[in-house]
Structure 1
Amino acid sequence: MSIVTIIKEFWRFTLNNLWRILLGALVCSLISIGGRYAIHHFLYRETDEAYRHLSQVYQQEPASFQMIVTMEDGSIFTTATIFDEYFSTPEMVKKVEAQTGVKFAQWLEDEKALEMFKTNEFRGGLAGVRDQSSNVITLRFLVSDKSEDNLKIAKAYCDLVEEESLPFLGTNKVTVIQEPAQGEMIATDLVEEVPTEKTLTPYQSRNAKGNIVYGVLGFILGAMASFAILFLGRFFNKKIAYAFEYSWDLMDQHYIYDRHQSPGVLQGLIQSPHQLKRWVLAQTSNGVQTAELVSEVLPESTQLYHDLSQAQPEQILDEMVILIYANLTDKEWLKQQMALARLSARRLKIIQII
């Protein structure tokens, strides 16, 4: 049997079982996505809750106010980050919550849960941003899940600033030049330090990409597993359907005949070369005389048997032809016939009819 024949049989097996393979792949893909979601939800439920709440907070309208801080010598105080660092401490958050009656400390916990710590590149929902050209400091508040509450919080912090009782101010003087108001006071498309509704997009896309990766991986593994199960299942079936289900010798001649082809093709496979004396073996199974399917293409000189053990001895015999009918011929029958055929040391030709 040639490598080409083996490949063709595997390809035929794949096409015949394609819907089963795809169904198994789809089921495995869904299980992979569902399993990942369940495990991720169990392991990262706190992070998921933080993401959901913070995404709601970042979709609100912020509130802001602007100020200038003048030092004793008349120069401008330029460190804006010290304000949001101090205002974001748990003690200050609790103090403002008590003054306003607005609970917003969850925003701080959510940013920590998502590892959105304050850096030079990101200042969080409560951010102090300095305009480098004017040294105006803008304090922006996007910390509550209600826009009107952001304004209440901004007013409370503005009152604290105007009291000039902050421990790090010293003799520095604060002048509020823009009272607290809802809306943006800075160009968020030019300033990357403050969060917007798009800030959490990487977290969402990362989760979506993870589902896609697991889905594709599950689909591929499911297809491979389905193919392997169906392939192994053929070896437990009593009937022969594909050439890889039985053993063969590389010296044997092996042919595949499709029923859609002309009967003359089968006749040529059986009788070639014409000058040889041969026997043809075909099993009778399920009450169907498989020999009748080829009776029209066999010459009178060719003997047809259903079992080699019942054949009459012949002194002149050059070749034995075994006909295998897909899904009709029994594996045990073929095993017995090939064992007997090889004892005769005659050339063996196997023709599988599909």
Structure 2
Amino acid sequence: MKLNRTLALAASIALAGALGTVSAAHAADKKTIAYLAPSLDISYWQWVGYGVKQKAHELNMDYVEFTSDNSPAKQMDNARTAVTKGVSAIVIGPVSSTSTPPLLAYLKSQNIPIAFAGIGPQPGQTDYTSSVTANNYETGKAEGSFVCKLAKDRGGNQVGMLSLPQDRENAQKYLKGAQESFKADGCDLVQMLETRGLTVNEAVTQANDMLTAHPDIKAIYGMYDEAGTGAAKALETRGLKGKIGIAVADGSPTTIALLKANAIQGIFFQEAVGQGIDGTQQVFNALTGAPVTKDLALVMPLVTADKVDSPEAKKVIARVFPPSY
């Protein structure tokens, strides 16, 4: 009996050891994804991160995040730190497209898959897994036509633009599309001001400066969400709500409320959460040998006040910002 108990104990210890080895191996196999945001002070980049984290959980991946504070140097440091910590893949909203070549060269040397979200790499770069952005050129054209119509409906053809920084490839594509539409539709872009901080207060100041310099502007093209909010605030203060049209890209609870109040006439929704989800799926595919789509350009549908509560719009909005908003 004593011998049997000893054998049983030995077998139990061996089994526990084997299970522990399997468990440790399983833990070692678990992949980690890092999200590198240009700034987590901006809601848009928080929402992309939400999408990355949501999809990572679904795929049984660990999630870590870093903010680059709009600094290319810190962005590079974050990438090195993530690799040192043993991450398996990276999803990034870069500080700028021009900041990406050294980052891509480093991650290639480390064999780390990388997906861009929202902002793509510098044109000509190819050493990335996937770039999940909006179809910025086509959206630029569509928003340009919409803004021109807003101006003409209000008795003029002069328009202004509150732009993203033009060192970003998405901003360049927006502008190119918009300029083509303005030319085709007979509107004049009389002034474009680039943001530095993507804040509402900055957009209010820029909209006021633009309207002071060009009082005949009849519509404003907002290239990012805070631009629409800032322009709407400026018009409200000047008693011009509805008299000057506004369209904006991105979308948020704030601009949806302004749309319903007719302070903004149209939103071209950009799927921030969806970009995080899709970018994560693409790098996971790269890690597991599944097919990868190198360039995903997501449609940005126009929603006006009369359509914002439709089932179709609600489906789109679910991929724009988290449900808690």
TM class by shorter chain equals under 0.3
TM-score for the superposition, normalised by structure 2: 0.27
Higher helix share: 2
Q: Which has the larger radius of gyration?
A: 1
TM-score for the superposition, normalised by structure 1: 0.25
Q: Which has the higher contact order (CA 8 A, sep 6+)?
A: 1
